[in-house]
Each structure stands twice: as structure tokens, then as C-alpha cells.
């Protein structure tokens, strides 16, 4: 009997345990279903609005600034070379790198002994040639007198022959006398010819003497030039560089002793693209006379020089694109040196009725996003005239004041609703203090807070208390809706 009682009691307890477990499982199942049904409730569909900076188009006249990089060069440079071999006899005290010299200043003087001896010999040769010329002139004068005297004697012999011929015709003179007169006249004519030959020889000697004098003078001039070449003087005021000479040193012919550079005659050589070069020329293809500034940045210090365009390189080097331009430095040349690497800024011709916008506002298709009605975006084509740093200069068929997106992103496109952020506004919109919730919106927010397992219970109670009020802080509503995607 006792065994039966205990068995029935065990069965009862087992049934009771199973019933309690079933009730617990059913409660858990209903709770899960309730949670699923609450979380699966479809929220009200709302359009997503993006925020972006917008700017207004302002059409005006702009002078584009072209930026390039170039090298400073000297337009007036002279190599100091020895015209002949010799020993350096005299060297200027300030003949060293960086020294300033004046025009005509003696820099280097070679030993002039051989040049002076050659000059003196040439002078003696000139004196001999002058004496020979004087002798030839006197001989010519005597020869001319001889010709004149022989001609007078021939004339007298001819007159005597004519008288004798007249007497013979009248039968008065003898045949022997006539023959003697004829022989005398013939001899006089032969004497005239001999004197003329002597005159021709004298004339030839005079020409030879003159040629000799000219040759002697040329030799003297060459000797004086060689003597002058022993002195190397500064042809213009400038600064010495690459000096390579010492007093007493032996130099060879055409050896370079240094360079003379005019620090005030500088130019900047820089390269631009072909498209940029086309904007710097006129319709006739001539280069415009545009102002240029060259900046030398060194350890935070900026040295600026000014100039203007002068010429363009006539040919394009192999393997190099674009065009090489040259700008003459007119102001600030004292700060620059040949070989300096400078930043060149060139003001191009002014562009009228154009706008300057950020480069990020234009895409690869040269279009911009325009803020249209109801703050929806539209695409509009633009013409890019010039790129200047992080900005572009455009011309577009849009009214002045039209607002466009300043920075395009992959999320923005045609038809997207935009929350425009204008200059002076914050990127986060300033919400109102409180908002009034309709029952459906309030229930959705409360269900989201209650179903959030990661939120502490204290925070849940505070949020539910706020959402239960008639007016709820707008910041709280915006934060919760952003999490649930509403």
C-alpha cells in the first residue's frame, strides 16, 4: 500500500513538472512571436535626403593665372679665354668668384715680351715700306720727265726732217742730208719708246711699293692686336664666375680663365602645354606681351621678380612636349642667380562672363549638379576654359545665382533630394526644440526602444518617458529614426 502511494505521488509530481515546463515554453514562444511581430512591423517609408555644400554662380571678368616652373638664365655672359699661349704676368686683385668688376677693368695680363718684339719688327717693316714707296714715287717723277724730254727731242727731229724734205723737193738739199735727217728722227722716236718703258717700270715699282706698305701695315695691325690680346679686360660690368687662373701660371691657347656674367640681364625659361601656349598667342600666332612673376622659395622666404614674355623656342626637343617660353626679368633681378629654380606665374588675357568654381564640382563629362525645384538635383553641361589649382573657370548656359553642388560624391546624382548647405551654415541641420508625434509614430519609436536588447534599462525608461510626452525633443526623435531607418 505504501509503495502504491509513493508511485502515485511520483507520477503526480512528474505531471506537474511537465505541465510547468510546457507553460514556460509556451510563454517563451509567445514572447518571441510578439517580439518578432513588433520588430517586423513595416515602418513608414521616407525618402532619404543627403546634405551637401552648394554655391551660387557669379559671372564676372577673370584674369586666369598660369603656374609653371622654370630656370633662371643669363642673357649676357662672356667666357674669358686666353687668345694666345703665355705666362700670366698680372692678375687683378679681385679676380675671384663672385667679384664685381667694372667695364674696361684689366683682369688678366699675359707676358707681352714676344708680342712687343713682333710689334716692333712690324713697325720697322712699315718704315722700310714707306721709304721704298717714297723712292718709287721719285723714280716715277724722273721717268715722266725723261719721257717729256725725249718727246720734245723727237718733235725737233721730226721738224728737221720736214725742212730737209722740203729742200729736197725743191732740188736744193742733197740726198745724204735727207737720209741723215730721217735716221735722226727715227732714233728720236726710239728714245721716246725707251723712256716710256722706263716710265712703265717706275709705275710698276710704285705699285709694288704701295702693296708692300699695305702688307707691312697689316702685319703691324696683327702684331698690335696680338699685343692687345695679352690684356683681358671686362667688356661690360658684371660678376666673375668659374675663375681658373693664378698669377705666374702658364696658359694655353684658348684656355678658359673664367666667366663674366651680367647679373642684371636675366631671363626665365619655362615650359607650358600646347593648349596653354595657344591661349598666350594672338590669332596671327604672335606671342602676347604678358606680365610674368617669378618666385624663389627658400626656407620659407619668398623672393619675387617681375618681367614679361619675350620669345618662344623655335623647335621642340626630342622626347619633350609643349612649348618652351622665355621671359625677361625687369625687376627684382638682384635676388636671382642663373640656375635658380623658380615658380612662374603668368597672367593670361582676361575672360569675360565666366565663373570660378571648385574643381570637385565638375565631373569627367564636364557637367555640374544644379539645385532645382524642391531641392532636387539636375545635371547641366559646362565649358571648362581654364584649370587653376583646385578651381576651374567655366562658361555655362545657366543664370547668375544658380546654385550648384560644390563637391560631387558618388551618392549624388540626378533626381536626388538635397539638403543644401550654404556658406555660413553648419553641416548638421539645426532641429527645432520639440516636435509633436502622431500615435503611430510614437508607438513605432517606443517599440524600437523596448526591443533594443543592448540599451540599458535606465536609458530605456528615460527614452520611453520622453516619448510618452505630448512634445518630444526633436534631437531624440531624429536619433532614433536614423537608427531604425525611418
Domain identity same for 255 and 224: no
Domain identity same for 90 and 119: no
60 belongs to a structural domain: no
Domain identity same for 268 and 410: no
63 belongs to a structural domain: no
Provide the residue range defining the domain that includes 244: 79-110+231-260
Domain identity same for 278 and 385: no
Q: Which of 339, 276, 342 is nearest to 307 (CA)?
A: 342
Q: Which of 264, 268, 238, 286 is nearest to 328 (CA)?
A: 268
92 belongs to a structural domain: yes
Domain identity same for 250 and 295: no
Domain identity same for 123 and 222: yes
Q: What pLDDT is recorded for position 37? A: 59
Q: Choose the final residue of a domain: 229, 244, 279.
A: 229
Q: What pLDDT is recorded for position 46? A: 63
The Cα–Cα gap between 468 and 437 comes to 10
Domain identity same for 358 and 441: no
30 belongs to a structural domain: no
The Cα–Cα gap between 16 and 18 comes to 6
CATH number at residue 132: 1.10.287.620
398 belongs to a structural domain: yes
CATH number at residue 355: 2.40.420
212 belongs to a structural domain: yes
Domain identity same for 132 and 93: no
C-alpha cell at 207: 705699285
Looking at the structure of the chain, the number of domains it has is: 5
Q: What pLDDT is recorded for position 326? A: 93
Q: What pLDDT is recorded for position 268? A: 92
Domain identity same for 396 and 461: no
Q: What pLDDT is recorded for position 381? A: 92
pLDDT, one tens digit for every residue, the chain (486 residues): 576 777 778 777 888 888 888 888 888 877 777 666 555 444 445 677 888 889 999 899 988 888 889 999 988 888 888 888 888 888 888 888 888 888 888 888 888 888 888 899 999 988 998 888 888 888 888 888 887 887 888 777 777 777 777 767 776 666 777 677 777 777 778 877 888 888 888 888 888 888 988 999 999 999 888 888 888 888 888 888 888 888 888 888 888 888 898 888 899 999 988 888 888 888 888 888 888 999 888 766 778 899 999 898 888 888 788 889 999 998 888 888 888 899 998 888 888 899 999 988 998 888 999 988 888 888 999 998 888 878 889 998 888 888 999 998 888 888 888 888 887 654 444 444 677 778 888 888 888 888 777 777 777 777 888 888 877 887 777 777 777 754
Q: Choose the final residue of a domain: 337, 370, 390.
A: 337
CATH number at residue 101: 2.40.50.100
415 belongs to a structural domain: yes
29 belongs to a structural domain: no
Domain identity same for 375 and 475: no
Domain identity same for 187 and 320: no
C-alpha cell at 447: 517599440
Domain identity same for 221 and 240: no
Q: What pLDDT is recorded for position 446? A: 83
Cβ neighbours around 246 below 10 Å, total:
11
Amino acid at each position: 500500500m505504501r509503495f502504491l502511494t509513493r508511485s502515485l505521488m511520483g507520477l503526480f509530481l512528474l505531471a506537474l513538472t511537465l505541465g510547468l515546463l510546457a507553460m514556460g515554453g509556451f510563454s517563451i514562444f509567445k514572447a518571441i512571436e510578439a517580439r518578432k511581430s513588433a520588430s517586423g512591423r513595416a515602418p513608414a517609408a521616407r525618402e532619404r535626403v543627403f546634405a551637401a555644400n552648394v554655391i551660387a554662380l557669379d559671372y564676372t571678368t577673370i584674369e586666369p593665372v598660369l603656374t609653371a616652373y622654370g630656370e633662371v638664365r643669363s642673357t649676357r655672359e662672356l667666357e674669358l679665354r686666353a687668345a694666345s699661349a703665355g705666362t700670366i704676368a698680372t692678375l687683378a686683385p679681385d679676380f675671384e668668384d663672385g667679384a664685381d668688376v667694372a667695364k674696361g677693368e684689366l683682369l688678366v695680363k699675359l707676358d707681352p715680351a714676344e708680342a712687343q718684339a713682333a710689334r716692333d719688327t712690324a713697325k720697322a717693316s712699315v718704315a722700310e715700306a714707306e721709304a721704298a714707296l717714297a723712292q718709287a714715287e721719285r723714280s716715277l717723277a724722273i721717268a715722266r720727265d725723261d719721257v717729256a724730254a725725249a718727246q720734245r727731242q723727237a718733235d725737233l727731229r721730226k721738224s728737221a726732217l720736214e725742212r730737209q724734205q722740203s729742200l729736197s723737193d725743191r732740188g736744193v738739199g742733197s740726198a745724204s742730208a735727207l737720209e741723215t735727217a730721217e735716221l735722226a728722227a727715227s732714233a728720236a722716236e726710239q728714245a721716246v719708246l725707251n723712256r716710256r718703258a722706263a716710265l712703265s717700270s717706275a709705275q710698276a715699282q710704285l705699285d709694288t711699293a704701295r702693296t708692300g706698305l699695305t702688307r707691312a701695315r697689316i702685319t703691324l695691325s696683327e702684331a698690335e692686336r696680338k699685343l692687345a690680346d695679352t690684356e683681358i679686360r671686362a667688356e661690360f660690368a658684371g660678376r666673375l664666375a668659374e675663375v681658373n687662373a693664378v698669377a705666374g701660371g702658364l696658359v694655353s691657347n684658348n684656355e678658359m680663365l673664367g666667366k663674366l656674367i651680367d647679373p642684371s640681364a636675366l631671363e626665365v625659361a619655362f615650359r607650358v602645354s600646347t593648349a596653354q601656349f595657344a591661349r598666350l598667342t594672338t590669332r596671327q600666332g604672335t606671342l602676347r606681351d604678358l606680365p610674368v612673376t617669378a618666385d624663389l622659395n627658400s626656407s620659407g622666404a619668398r623672393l619675387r621678380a617681375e618681367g614679361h614674355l619675350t620669345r618662344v623656342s623655335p623647335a621642340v626637343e626630342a622626347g619633350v612636349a609643349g612649348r618652351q617660353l622665355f621671359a625677361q626679368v625687369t625687376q627684382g633681378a638682384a635676388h636671382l642667380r642663373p640656375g635658380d629654380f623658380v615658380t612662374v606665374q603668368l597672367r593670361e588675357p582676361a575672360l569675360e562672363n565666366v565663373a570660378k568654381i571648385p574643381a570637385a564640382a565638375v565631373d569627367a563629362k564636364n557637367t555640374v549638379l544644379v539645385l532645382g525645384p524642391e531641392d532636387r538635383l539636375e545635371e547641366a553641361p559646362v565649358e571648362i576654359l581654364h584649370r587653376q589649382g583646385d578651381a576651374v573657370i567655366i562658361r555655362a548656359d545657366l543664370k547668375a545665382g544658380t546654385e550648384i553642388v560644390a563637391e560631387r560624391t558618388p551618392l549624388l546624382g540626378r533626381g536626388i533630394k538635397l539638403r543644401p548647405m550654404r556658406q555660413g551654415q553648419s553641416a548638421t541641420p539645426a532641429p527645432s526644440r520639440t516636435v509633436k508625434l502622431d500615435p503611430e509614430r510614437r508607438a513605432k519609436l517606443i517599440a524600437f526602444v523596448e526591443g533594443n536588447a543592448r540599451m540599458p534599462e535606465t536609458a530605456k525608461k528615460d527614452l520611453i518617458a520622453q516619448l510618452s510626452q505630448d512634445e518630444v525633443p526633436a534631437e531624440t526623435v531624429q536619433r532614433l529614426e536614423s537608427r531604425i531607418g525611418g
